Structure 1
Amino acid sequence: MGQNRRFQTPDTFVIIFFVVLAAAIMTYMIPQGQFEMEEVTYEHGDEEASEEVLDAEGYSQVTDDNGEPVRDGISLFEGGGGTGFLNYMFEGLVSGDKWGSAVGVVAFILIIGGAFGIIMRTGAVEEGIMKVIQRTQGRDLFLLPVIFFMFSLGGAVFGMGEEAIAFAMIIIPLVVALGYDAITGVMITYVATQIGFATSWMNPFGVAIAQGVADVPVLSGAPFRIFMWAFFTLVGIIYTVIYARRIKKDPTRSLSYETDGYFRENYTKENISSRFTLGHGLVVASLALGIVWIVWGVVAHAYYIPEIATQFFTIGLTAGVIGVVFKLRDMRINDVASSFKEGAQNLLPAALIVGMAKGIVIVLGGDDPGSPSVLNTILYHGGQLLDGVPSVVAAWSMFFFQSVFNFFVVSGSGQAALTMPLLAPLADLAEIPRQIAVLGYQLGDGFTNLIVPTSAALMGVLGVARIDWITWLKFQFKFQLLLFTLASLFIIAAVLLNFS
């Protein structure tokens, strides 16, 4: 009694629960709407691609027999596979298919966790990290810009996102061992990919689809976007290096200092003697070749979640065989199974969050524009707010709208298919090129991926880093403001330059 209790930061699970609750309340206040659908075809390279998109002129409010708007508030519980408020966890986890959120991403995260559990059990990563520390003493700060650049390039070229979860498992322990923190590791992996994604000139899962749907020549406007990518990548590198240097001088200043203790226990500068054997080398080589295989598959054959998950499983299995044959850390065949289970278990919270976050959209009625939902009404009226405003304001508002809408639909291709058919005609009314509407989409979509708790990739990487979302929000808020301000300036510049 009489003692002041310290404020306890809400767990991410708690935050999402209350967001779902707010979404449930919205279903009683906002009427449902739906769009008519049409198929759009466009040229993508030498091939013809198509997307089924909403008809911007085909929105209608759902009414009952008396002509009154339907506000079909969600029930507390539904049987028979229906969706009630309390069903959001299960329905979120089993929603979608193997190609995306949520069930596909959940399986992807668990399989990657299991595969890296095997790899980590061999000790090859630890020994490799010690070897890197041993050889880069005094020069390790140069590693950060190089890694950041490579991940940004991956985001720009082939839409790298969820793949960062796997790389973070290796890089985060490395940077902590070098005297930085897990936040630095997230910056040079996931954050870098999303900067590349947001400013890409050729990402097939984002800007290419948005341009095709908006009836803009696919991959057009590349010089402007390449400059934009180089600029934002440089900003990200400078910001990260300044932050990393400050943390290295005093690690206790890090918001993740306590949780980083998990990594410091296993990777310390005081123990930098490396016993890197042939077996360890073969494990690292199999990992490197596996990554090359994954990149080749994504670029050459558009491999996505099902194929990449299987590729990582194959890498983990190969590492396990090598570990048993070379008796790395006295590995036996049962250790392969137990380490897979342990690795998957470590990422289970991140996988559950993906399902919970998807539950938000399900409670709002789903993201199918052709079916009645509250989300469709929000989308339509959000777009109508842009009608009749000055061109600069309209362009910036599109960017802002995409930033907010990304909370509900994190998928880049899904957001493009939902919003571009609506915003492209509005760009015509505001007398700005449709290319600028695409620019607003990609900047709004990509940069907010760094902060929205509904992003499966973000929550997966934070799970690997052992950083809760609130801690990440405290760190990321300033950087998000910087990116938002700079992106706004690019949008204004694009209007002034009549970017088309």
Structure 2
Amino acid sequence: MKKIKFPSAQTVLLLIAAFVALLTWCIPSGQFDRLAYNKEDNTFIKTSKEKTITLEATQKTLDGLQIKIPLEKFTSGAIYKPISIPKTYQKLASKPQGFKEFILAPLKGIIAVADIIILVLFIGGLVAIVNYTGAFEAGITRLSKLLEGKEYILIIAVTSLIALGGTTFGLAEETIAFYPILVPIFIAAKYDAIVALACIYVGSSIGTMISTTNPFSTIIASNSAGINWTTGIYGRVTMLVIGLTICIIYIIRYAQRIKKDPTKSIIFDQKEKIEKIFSFHKSLETINFTTRLKLVLIIFITCFIVMVYGVISLDWWFLEMTGVFFVGALLIGFLCRINETVFVDTFIKGASELLSVAFIIGLARGVTILMEDGLISDTLLFYASSFTDGMNKGFFINSIMFVYSGLAFFIPSSSGMAVLTMPIMSPLADTVSLGREHVVNAYLLGIGLFNFINPTGLVLASLAMIKVGYDKWLKFVIPLVIILAVVSMIFLTISVYI
């Protein structure tokens, strides 16, 4: 009997898109009114089903709309997206998404995330140029000798550093750039590609799941809840340390097991294929780590340092990040005197190898567009907010966490989730005599837990980078997700009773 093969990431996303399109025929359309601050003339713009009106930007206006958020959160720019207005949900005329919308959604998604796609393609081009010089091979040879017998240090360092980026400034999409660099290093250390994936993706996920200063989740969610973002930070720091420790131990246990017996690898049947993809052109023993190759790696690493600095301090986004990698590729080309024709061919070939990743990112965005156009996201939020009525504190806060896990499938953006849901969900804490920071924590943990496996998030694009199937990833990560879910429930329950 022929073994059934798990579908590709692209097929999985198309199936999900078809399912979401079907949901728009079953779930009633509806929407909350929206409120946006217009800094040009210091007014609020209220948008509803019937009309759009302009209101005075005063605290009295906010109080009248039952929005318990200080005015300065809007005027300072802390809340820069339209928020949902509590108790304004209205059913709308149904907008079911048919065959035409289903076909166009992936194309709209690709257009919507064109900036991310360009970044991915240029990363592929830069990596191909560095590969052409032989700098990766030489650097990995040196690193392998330095870490011989202590390869676990690599796991601890990579996971911790990426988690630090996730918890402080929301390092997520940018991690796509790290796979071509780190997978060969982990393979050279006698690990499999799953270990490299885990260090990068789990590191980013645990960091963003327990954000401390991340402006795209903790800060915007706290602002949208009407509280200071530092409220509850000590509990989040404690949970971050616990969660990161659990993740590192989990990865190391798997890594040590497959190092002793490679047949224990979840992707053992793909071992040769993956190692061939990430193999080197020359024997590692014969490569000299010359001054020129060291400079190539310095330029390459500097690109990431500049990218991180720009995102944190200069308000850069995908276009500027792409520019950094483009400049890096040109500098390396000049340094190594690569022929112009060879440079262009190599760059384009490297970019083309990441086209599948680019399409996955676009397809995932297309799923979200189907939900937005079908007007079902607010309906799900309305019923989810009604679900917690009459619960005690412990059940309430844990229910909120699982509600957010469910909503994360439909709204994978953390900032989008915050501004749409927090004005609706955070006042529910008042009804059970809880501080609103507990709802913020439940939001973080809920969407963070689901993010480990969310097919409409970044996971499928990450898996495509290393040619590993979604089913293999689920087999690896589900036990970790269960452990983190139990720990999160314990943390939330204790926090509401102390």
Amino acid at match of 1:470: D
* Distance across 2 between alignment mates of 1:268 and 1:451: 34
Q: How does 1:34-49 map to 2 (within 5 A)?
A: 34-39=31-36, 48-49=77-78
- Paired residue for 2:153? 142
After superposition, the Cα gap between the structure-2 partners of 1:484 and 1:273, relative to the gap in structure 1 and judged at 3 Å, is farther
- Paired residue for 1:471? 472
- Paired residue for 1:176? 187
- Give the CA RMSD over aligned residues: 2.2
Q: Percent identity?
A: 29
Q: How does 1:1-400 map to 2 (within 5 A)?
A: 4-39=1-36, 48-51=77-80, 52-62=82-92, 70-77=93-100, 84-95=101-112, 102-265=113-276, 266=279, 271-324=284-337, 331-366=338-373, 373-400=375-402
Kept in 2, the 8 Å contact 1:173–1:263? The answer is: no
* Distance across 1 between alignment mates of 2:110 and 2:168: 30
Deviation at 1:146, TM superposition (A): 1.6
After superposition, the Cα gap between the structure-2 partners of 1:37 and 1:109, relative to the gap in structure 1 and judged at 3 Å, is same
1:266-305 CA-partner distances (Å, limit 9, x unpaired): 2599844441111111111112222221222122123222
- Paired residue for 1:99? none
Point out where structure 2 has 5 or more consecutive residues left out of the alignment.
37-68
Amino acid at match of 1:195: I
Q: Give the SS at the match of 2:417.
A: helix
1:3-22 CA-partner distances (Å, limit 9, x unpaired): x1112112222222221121
Deviation at 1:74, TM superposition (A): 2.1
Deviation at 1:61, TM superposition (A): 0.7
Kept in 1, the 8 Å contact 2:217–2:415? The answer is: yes
Kept in 1, the 8 Å contact 2:274–2:467? The answer is: no
Q: Give the SS at the match of 2:239.
A: helix
Kept in 2, the 8 Å contact 1:134–1:272? The answer is: no
Q: How does 1:486-497 map to 2 (within 5 A)?
A: 486-497=487-498
Q: Give the SS at the match of 2:17.
A: helix
Kept in 2, the 8 Å contact 1:177–1:264? The answer is: no
Kept in 1, the 8 Å contact 2:303–2:325? The answer is: yes
1:287-338 CA-partner distances (Å, limit 9, x unpaired): 22222212221221232222222212222222222232xxxxxx42222212
Deviation at 1:54, TM superposition (A): 0.5
Point out where structure 1 has 5 or more consecutive residues left out of the alignment.
63-69, 78-83, 96-101, 325-330, 367-371
* Distance across 1 between alignment mates of 2:470 and 2:350: 21
* Distance across 2 between alignment mates of 1:365 and 1:291: 34
Deviation at 1:258, TM superposition (A): 3.9
After superposition, the Cα gap between the structure-2 partners of 1:466 and 1:481, relative to the gap in structure 1 and judged at 3 Å, is same
Kept in 1, the 8 Å contact 2:9–2:460? The answer is: no
Range 238-247 or range 136-145, more displaced: 136-145
* Distance across 1 between alignment mates of 2:322 and 2:282: 33
Higher helix share: 2
Amino acid at match of 1:239: Y
Deviation at 1:174, TM superposition (A): 0.4
Deviation at 1:429, TM superposition (A): 1.7
After superposition, the Cα gap between the structure-2 partners of 1:141 and 1:441, relative to the gap in structure 1 and judged at 3 Å, is same
Q: Give the SS at the match of 1:211.
A: helix
* Distance across 1 between alignment mates of 2:70 and 2:78: 6
Amino acid at match of 1:338: D
* Distance across 2 between alignment mates of 1:103 and 1:26: 27
Amino acid at match of 1:264: E
Kept in 2, the 8 Å contact 1:76–1:86? The answer is: yes
- Paired residue for 2:58? none
Deviation at 1:159, TM superposition (A): 1.0
Q: Give the SS at the match of 2:173.
A: coil
Kept in 1, the 8 Å contact 2:274–2:466? The answer is: no
Deviation at 1:243, TM superposition (A): 0.8
Kept in 2, the 8 Å contact 1:111–1:312? The answer is: yes
1:149-173 CA-partner distances (Å, limit 9, x unpaired): 1111111111111121112211111
- Paired residue for 1:67? none
Kept in 2, the 8 Å contact 1:93–1:352? The answer is: yes
Q: Give the SS at the match of 1:50.
A: coil
* Distance across 2 between alignment mates of 1:269 and 1:145: 29
Kept in 2, the 8 Å contact 1:16–1:357? The answer is: yes
* Distance across 2 between alignment mates of 1:423 and 1:377: 14
After superposition, the Cα gap between the structure-2 partners of 1:180 and 1:27, relative to the gap in structure 1 and judged at 3 Å, is same
Deviation at 1:235, TM superposition (A): 0.8
After superposition, the Cα gap between the structure-2 partners of 1:340 and 1:289, relative to the gap in structure 1 and judged at 3 Å, is same
* Distance across 2 between alignment mates of 1:275 and 1:444: 49
Deviation at 1:387, TM superposition (A): 2.0
- Paired residue for 2:46? none
Q: Structure 1 length normalisation: TM-score?
A: 0.88
* Distance across 2 between alignment mates of 1:484 and 1:233: 13
Deviation at 1:43, TM superposition (A): 5.9
1:133-191 CA-partner distances (Å, limit 9, x unpaired): 12221122222112211111111111111121112211111001110011110111121
1:446-474 CA-partner distances (Å, limit 9, x unpaired): 23222111113x33322222212222122
Kept in 1, the 8 Å contact 2:109–2:364? The answer is: yes
